[in-house]
Amino acid sequence: MTRPLLWSRRVLDGLVADIITARSGAEALELLQSRAEIGAVLSDIMMPGISGIELAEEIARRRPELPVVLMTGYSDKLEAGAAVSRPVLTKPFATKDLAAALAVSRPGLPDLTNVVRLDQTTRS
């Protein structure tokens, strides 16, 4: 395992129950096809074979309900102005930032960040 992979696993610990790793975009797509229980994807933008951006686009075609968050230390594609429809985190990032990006990347779910639950308000 490489250092970035170990760091990513540490960030994910406690956020998700099971972590499955893939060494390339092609391997990730194979895993997504064979394992329906996968609930989210965190992908580096720079990978061998297809990029994380291309992986996210393919996931959107195959499993549009699946949250995808991209991460990068540097991306020539982003520097060139590539449009990305998924959240992108700059490494290193905090666990809270990943959790927020995963929440935002869930298609079809309403954004309830500005909703206050009435049972949690204090009364004067």
- Interval 6-29: pLDDT, tens: 556 666 666 666 788 888 999 999
Query: Distances in Å between the alpha carbon of 76 and those of 1, 16, 21, 29?
Result: 24, 30, 24, 23
pLDDT at 13: 65
CATH number of the structural domain 3-120: 3.40.50.2300
Q: What are phi and psi of 54, to 5 degrees?
A: -65, -40
User: pLDDT over 70 for what percent of the chain?
Assistant: 64
Cβ proximity of 112 and 27 under 8 Å: no
Boundaries of every domain in the chain = 3-120
Mean pLDDT, all residues of the chain: 76
Local structure of 30: helix, strand or coil: helix
Q: Which of 37, 1, 18, 15 is nearest to 93 (CA)?
A: 15
- Reported as a single tens digit per residue, the pLDDT across 49-90 is 898 989 999 999 999 989 999 988 875 655 555 667 788 888
Taking each helix axis from N to C terminus, what angle separates 95-104 and 3-12, rounded to the nearest 10 degrees? Answer: 70
